[in-house]
């Protein structure tokens, strides 16, 4: 029996050459790799979120409900707690759960794989007749839908089901994987081991952003883009292929985890050895399992450190999870970034800062072995500092985009244009400042396509002329024509502001948004997020160890299972939904297609920024207050085996003194 619990292999297959891998170092590396792959799935979804909303024509709040399948399965996980606590072969069950997770990710890609591909030919479209681009007599012409429905509820159900199954792997990863490491490593070496695992998962977050950006630079149906580039009308990024890549990677790595034994062979005094002895004395009936679980729950509820630490984690993550889910979309609309770069920009810097902070805290805790009170006090400082940073972020703003004449209003200069309100095609006056809903709303009667150079590559630019509303707006706002920002120019001085140039009234417009330089503000935001991530990461490891040390060793898995379920119920499920509602509330223009309201096309960026930042700041302050409770009750918790080390050093000193006395 002893041999079976400490040797690598499956069932009766336990070859000698495989036993060389039955080491904590090998397991930590493999588990970190799996954590990286697991971490990719979350941030990949965040990167492609706005593209999925566009594909299925759903609002942000609706998208959050679709993706809640992951959390619902983790909430249901708690009902199996009485039986899961008695599982001894934790590595094998974690491996099986991760394989189920891979199958769930494949389901997420099925809506593309099984649906009609003809709508992607030469550009993504849902209408036979092109939209009413320019001002003309459009009487009697109505948009004709190319597809029967825009909001594909069947496809969204497949994604929901996929994430529901995927949540099983996440539950086992945390509930079985983390305690397995802490049980098989001595307390003094545990910080560095857990730091490597946490860093691996955080690196996975960075890779998820990279994968998402790379996929969105590809067309949704590879080879059928018709020469379109990202940013062109009709472009839709490849949102589905990344799910397949993550699923295949998981399927390759996860089976290796099942080969590890119930307990790693070691000469160190570990919790795994003590737990193995205690399990032999435990009853095995289902009734006793339930009774034991109830007693475990009572012990945890009476543990004030565990309760306050749980409240802190819930409040903190409630703010950060929702914000992290929509931060690529926030960058996309507030800073006018491409979907493929919006996730990478903030995600990479944030993840690199987090990895640095986690590894640094692992080294520091291993070396200095701080007390529980010192660790909890540091978390209080981090909490209030993070809240201050989010308040500061609310003051870093880009120019707000406003539509001239509003939306839904018919100006005198548009009366005979017959403009459609169903297609938002941002069009900028040649004054470089005034934005119109579409070239039709700008009153433009002529359009030509010009091949221009922009950022070193050729692109087709739509140029509109004879625009009646452009003339009206220019006179009303007292603006003049600006230098052609939409292409690379050899002009020595702009038409506006040049001493030799004669200001002229613009009569034309250019397809796309008006130019504005917000790079400085974006760099400041990235810098703040990096510092915040690094600072926050230095407290994550200490907080995890404090939570594990504050409870009985036999309750570790149960405490994490309960925490995973509580976080899913009170954080991962409602937080994205609430943040999605915040995003939807800031929407100024909703897309309309085939008579249905679809995803948001333009946001009130000032409202979006202030609401998001202040909401997160309040959540973080509540978390810091709960951390004060952790600090208050954490006195006496032994984080490391310092007492044993002191006793050992005292015995060594006494023996040395006796030897000196004998020698003299």
In DSSP terms, which residues pair with 127 in a beta bridge? 145
Average pLDDT, the chain: 80
Specify whether the CB–CB gap between 114 and 424 falls below 8 A. no
Determine the Cα–Cα distance for residues 580 and 325; give it in Å rounded to an integer. 9
Contact 534, 354 (CB under 8 A): yes
How many helical (H) and strand (E) elements, i.e. helices and strands, does the chain have?
A: 21, 7
In whole angstroms, give the CA distance from residue 5 to residue 260: 9
| pTM for this prediction | 0.76
For residue 502, what is the DSSP state?
Answer: P
633 falls in which pLDDT band (50, 70, 90)?
A: very high
181 neighbors 193 (Cβ within 8 angstroms): yes
- Burial of 579 by CB count in 10 Å (0-12 exposed, 13-18 middle, 19+ buried)? buried
Residue 264 pLDDT exceeds 80: no
Mind giving me the DSSP string for 431-491?
A: TSS-EESSTTTTTEEEEEEEEEEETTEEEEEEEEEEEHHHHHHHHHHT------TTS----
Per-residue pLDDT tens over the stretch 581-618 = 898 899 888 877 666 777 788 888 899 999 999 999 99
pLDDT digits (tens, 9 = 90+) for 101-133: 999 999 999 988 888 778 788 777 654 444 457
Query: How far apart are the C-alpha atoms of 362 and 358, rounded to whole Å?
Result: 6
Tell me the C-alpha distance between 213 and 344, whole Å. 6
Task: Report the range of poorest mean pLDDT among 165-174, 234-243, 427-436.
Answer: 165-174
Indicate left, alpha or beta for 455 from its phi (over 0: left) and psi (-120 to 50: alpha).
left
Report the distance separating Cα 243 and Cα 37, nearest Å: 11
- Per-residue pLDDT, 503: 57
d(CA 425, CA 85): 57
* Structure token pair of residue 652: 């060594």
Q: Per-residue pLDDT for 211 more than 50?
A: yes
Query: Phi and psi at residue 219, in whole multiples of 5°?
Result: -75, 150
Q: Are 559 and 306 in contact (CB under 8 A)?
A: yes
Structure tokens at 291: 């009774």
Mean pLDDT of the 128-142 span: 57
Percent of the chain with pLDDT over 90: 19
What pLDDT is attached to residue 266? Answer: 67
Report the C-alpha gap between 63 and 50 in whole angstroms.
9
H helices of 57-120, where? 60-66, 69-76, 81-84, 90-114
Whole-Å CA distances, 420 to 62, 319, 441, 593, 602: 26, 39, 9, 11, 16
Instruction: Express each pLDDT in 341-360 by its tens digit.
Output: 766 666 666 777 888 888 88
CB–CB of 378/542 below 8 Å? yes
Determine the distance from the C-alpha atom of residue 69 to the mean position of all C-alpha atoms in its chain, rounded to a whole number: 16
CA gap 193, 266 in Å, rounded: 15
Q: How many residues does the chain have?
A: 664
Straight-line distance from the first to the last Cα atom of the chain, in angstroms, rounded to the nearest whole number: 53
pLDDT category of residue 78 using cuts at 50, 70 and 90: low
Least Cα distance to 219 among 343, 328, 119, 127 occurs for: 119
Q: How confident is the model at residue 331 (pLDDT cuts 50, 70, 90)?
A: confident
Is a pLDDT exceeding 50 seen at residue 429?
Answer: yes
pLDDT over threshold 70, residue 550: yes
Cα 420 to chain centroid, rounded: 36
pLDDT category at 279 given cuts 50, 70, 90 is low
Q: How far apart are CA 35 and CA 197, in angstroms?
A: 7
State the Cα–Cα distance between residues 483 and 489, nearest whole angstrom: 8
CA–CA dist 32, 503 (Å, integer):
62
Query: 420: pLDDT confidence band, cut at 50, 70 and 90?
Result: confident
The domains located in the chain, with CATH, are 2-122+151-263+286-398+518-633 (1.20.1250.20), 412-511 (no CATH)
In the predicted structure, residue 136 carries a pLDDT above the cut 80? no
Q: Which residue has the higher pLDDT, 332 or 250?
A: 250
CB atoms within 10 A of CB 299: 16
Give the whole-number percent of the chain exceeding pLDDT 70.
82
Highest-pLDDT range among 157-166, 192-201, 272-281, 586-595: 157-166
pLDDT of amino acid 132: 55
Mean pLDDT of 75-83: 63
CB 41 within 8 A of CB 299: no
- Whether the pLDDT of residue 509 is over 60: the answer is yes
Residues 574, 582 contacting (CB under 8 angstroms): no
Name the least confident of 100-114, 428-442, 482-496. 482-496
Q: Please determine, for residue 267, whether its predicted confidence score (pLDDT) is greater than 70.
A: no
Which residue did the predictor score with more confidence, 150 or 327? 327
| DSSP H or E stretch at residue 428 | strand 427-429
Residue 304 — very low, low, confident or very high, per pLDDT cuts 50/70/90? very high
- Give the per-residue pLDDT at 613: 93
Q: Can you tell me the mean pLDDT for 258-275?
A: 68
Can you give the C-alpha Rg of the chain in angstroms? 30
Band the pLDDT of 377: cuts 50, 70, 90: very high
- Residue 621's pLDDT band (cuts 50, 70, 90): very high
Non-local (6+) Cβ contacts of 263 within 8 A are 5, 6, 183, 184, 272, 273, 276
The model's pLDDT over 443-481, given as tens digits with 9 standing for 90+, comes to 999 998 888 887 677 778 889 999 999 999 998 999 898
Average pLDDT over every residue of 40-57: 84
Q: State the pLDDT at residue 629.
A: 94
Cα-Cα-Cα-Cα dihedral sign, residues 343, 349, 350, 355: positive
Evaluate whether 200 touches 129 at the Cβ level (below 8 Å): no
pLDDT grade for 395, boundaries at 50, 70 and 90: very high
How many angstroms from the chain centroid is the CA of residue 596? 29
Residue 481: both structure tokens together: 């024509």
The Cα 242–Cα 48 span in angstroms is: 9
**How far is the CA of 15 from the CAs of 11, 31, 96, 377, in angstroms?**
11, 22, 22, 49
Question: Could you report the per-residue pLDDT of 553-590, keeping only the tens digit for each?
Answer: 777 777 877 887 788 788 888 888 898 889 889 988 88
Strands (E) located in 102-230? none
Burial 78-112 (b: 16+ CB within 10 A, else e): beebbebbeeebbbbbbbbbbbbbbbbbbbbbbbb
pLDDT at residue 490 is higher than 80? no
pLDDT of residue 435: 92
Q: CA 470, CA 134: separation in Å to the nearest integer?
A: 13
Contact 237, 228 (CB under 8 A): no
pLDDT given at position 248: 95
Is residue 545 within 8 Å of 374, Cβ to Cβ? no
């Amino acid at each position: 029996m002893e041999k079976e619990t400490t040797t690598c292999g499956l069932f009766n297959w336990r070859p000698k050459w495989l036993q060389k891998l039955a080491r904590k170092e090998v397991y930590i590396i493999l588990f970190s790799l799996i954590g990286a792959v697991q971490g990719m799935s979350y941030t990949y979804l965040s990167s492609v979120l706005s593209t999925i909303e566009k594909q299925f024509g759903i609002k942000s709040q609706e998208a959050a409900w679709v993706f809640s399948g992951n959390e619902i399965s983790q909430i249901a996980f708690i009902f199996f707690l009485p039986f899961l606590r008695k599982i001894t072969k934790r590595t094998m069950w974690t491996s099986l759960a991760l394989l189920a997770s891979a199958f769930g990710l494949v389901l997420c890609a099925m809506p593309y794989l099984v649906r009609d591909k003809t709508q992607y030919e030469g550009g993504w479209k849902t209408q036979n007749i092109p939209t009413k681009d320019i001002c003309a007599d459009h009487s009697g012409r109505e948009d004709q839908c190319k597809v029967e429905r825009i909001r594909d509820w069947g496809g969204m159900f497949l994604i929901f089901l996929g994430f529901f199954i995927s949540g099983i792997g996440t539950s086992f990863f945390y509930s079985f994987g983390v305690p397995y490491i802490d049980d098989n490593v001595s307390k003094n070496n545990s910080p560095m081991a857990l730091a490597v695992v946490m860093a691996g998962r955080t690196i996975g977050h960075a890779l998820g952003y990279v994968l998402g950006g790379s996929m969105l630079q590809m067309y949704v149906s590879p080879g059928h883009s018709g020469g379109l580039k990202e940013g062109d009308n009709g472009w839709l990024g490849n949102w589905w292929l990344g799910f397949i890549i993550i699923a295949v990677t998981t399927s390759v790595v996860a089976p290796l985890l099942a080969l590890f034994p119930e307990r790693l062979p070691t000469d160190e005094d570990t919790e795994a050895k003590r737990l193995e002895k205690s399990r032999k004395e435990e009853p095995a009936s289902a009734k006793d399992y339930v009774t034991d679980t109830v007693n475990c729950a009572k012990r945890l509820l009476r543990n004030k450190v565990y309760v306050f630490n749980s409240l802190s984690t819930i409040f903190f993550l409630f703010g950060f999870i929702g914000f992290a889910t929509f931060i690529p979309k926030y960058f996309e609309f507030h800073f006018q970034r491409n979907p493929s770069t919006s996730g990478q920009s903030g995600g990479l810097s944030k993840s690199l800062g987090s990895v640095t902070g986690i590894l640094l805290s692992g080294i520091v805790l291993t070396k200095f072995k701080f007390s529980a009170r010192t660790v909890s006090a540091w978390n209080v400082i981090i909490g209030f500092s993070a809240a201050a940073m989010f308040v500061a972020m609310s003051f870093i703003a880009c120019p707000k985009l406003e539509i001239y004449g509003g939306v839904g209003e018919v100006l005198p200069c548009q009366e005979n244009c017959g403009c459609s309100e169903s297609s938002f095609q941002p069009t900028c006056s040649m004054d470089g400042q005034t934005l119109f809903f579409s070239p039709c709303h700008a009153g433009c009667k002529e359009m030509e396509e010009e091949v221009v150079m922009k950022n070193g590559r050729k692109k087709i630019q739509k140029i509109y002329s004879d625009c009646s509303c452009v003339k009206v707006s220019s006179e009303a706002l007292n603006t003049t024509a600006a230098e052609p920002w939409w292409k690379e120019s050899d002009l020595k001085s702009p038409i506006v502001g040049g001493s030799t140039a004669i200001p002229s009234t613009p009569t034309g417009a250019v397809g796309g948004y008006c130019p504005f330089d917000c790079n400085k503000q974006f760099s400041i935001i990235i810098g703040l997020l990096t510092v915040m991530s690094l600072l926050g990461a230095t407290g994550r490891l200490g907080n995890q160890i404090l939570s594990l040390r504050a409870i009985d060793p036999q309750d570790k898995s149960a405490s994490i299972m309960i925490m995973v379920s509580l976080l899913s119920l009170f954080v991962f499920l409602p937080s994205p939904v609430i943040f999605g509602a915040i995003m939807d509330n800031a929407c100024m223009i909703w897309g309309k297609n085939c008579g249905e309201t679809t995803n948001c096309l333009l946001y009130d960026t000032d409202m979006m920024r202030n609401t998001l930042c202040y909401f997160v700041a309040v959540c973080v302050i509540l978390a810091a207050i709960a951390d004060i409770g952790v600090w208050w009750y954490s006195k006496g918790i032994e984080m490391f085996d310092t007492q044993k080390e002191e006793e050992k050093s005292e015995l060594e000193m006494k023996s040395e003194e006796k030897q000196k006395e004998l020698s003299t």
